[in-house]
């Protein structure tokens, strides 16, 4: 199988199911942003000495779910003959359980915090912001195309996960969080 087909040279690509659409369509932008997020999650996982093996395992699980989410977004609105993996309520519950475990040991937030302090912490914040962008795109797409309500719900919870993970990494690495002090 060749990597290049030349079929996309004119600015169109095929969805699962065969329908061709412009590469700048909202559907392509949505799953492309999910793919971008998955790459940043891989970068975060590369900091395994900082994130620890349990977090690295959770990130692998998340990457798998992001591939699932991306494939669902890549399916033509009229469907396809291909059987695709599905997101489950349990996937959202997994994120909630992970958030709750991390929250148990974190000090309460007293202000917004500035992203940074360590590459792993910063990468978790990048994951959070790319995830929020993916969520916004999927919500926009849902205004014109039927989208499973679990997709934006998963992305919403996932961005919460990355925020709490950034705080937990800072805590574990003994990185002092920098509070945002608005200039008045």
Low-confidence ranges of the chain (pLDDT < 70): none
pLDDT value at residue 4? 84
**What pLDDT shows up at residue 57?**
95
Q: Is residue 115 part of a domain?
A: yes
Residue 89 lies in a domain: yes
CATH code assigned at 164 = 1.20.1200.10
Q: For residue 30, give its domain range.
A: 22-77+85-178
- Is 90 a member of any domain? yes
Is residue 11 domain-resident? no
Q: Which pLDDT does position 79 carry in this prediction? A: 76
141/104 Cα distance (integer angstroms): 36
Q: Mind giving me the DSSP string for 102-142?
A: HHTTSPPP-S-EES-SSHHHHHHHHHHHHHHHHHHHHHHHH
Strand stretches in the chain, DSSP E: 12-14, 20-22, 113-114, 178-179
Q: Label the pairing between strands 113-114 and 178-179.
A: antiparallel
Question: Is-contact 122 28, C-beta < 8 A?
Answer: no
The pLDDT assigned to 81 comes to: 79
**For residue range 49-92, what is the model confidence (pLDDT) as tens digits?**
877 889 999 999 999 999 999 999 998 887 777 888 999 999 99
The whole-number pLDDT of residue 9 equals: 82
User: What per-residue confidence (pLDDT) applies to 129?
Assistant: 98
């Amino acid at each position: 199988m060749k990597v290049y087909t030349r079929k996309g040279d004119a600015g169109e690509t095929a969805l699962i199911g065969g329908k061709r659409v412009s590469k700048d369509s909202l559907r392509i932008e949505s799953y492309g942003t999910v793919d971008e997020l998955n790459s940043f999650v891989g970068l975060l996982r590369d900091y395994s000495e900082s994130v620890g093996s349990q977090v690295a395992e959770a990130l692998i699980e998340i990457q798998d779910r992001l591939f699932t989410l991306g494939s669902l977004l890549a399916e033509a609105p009229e469907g396809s003959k291909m059987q695709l993996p599905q997101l489950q309520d349990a996937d959202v519950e997994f994120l909630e359980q992970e958030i709750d475990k991390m929250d148990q040991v974190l000090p309460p937030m007293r202000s917004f915090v500035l992203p940074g302090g360590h590459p792993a912490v910063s990468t978790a914040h990048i994951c959070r912001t790319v995830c929020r962008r993916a969520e916004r795109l999927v919500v926009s797409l849902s205004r014109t195309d039927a989208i499973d309500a679990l997709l934006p719900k998963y992305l919403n919870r996932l961005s919460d996960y990355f925020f709490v993970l950034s705080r937990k990494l800072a805590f574990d690495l003994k990185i002092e969080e920098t509070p945002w002090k608005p200039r008045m």
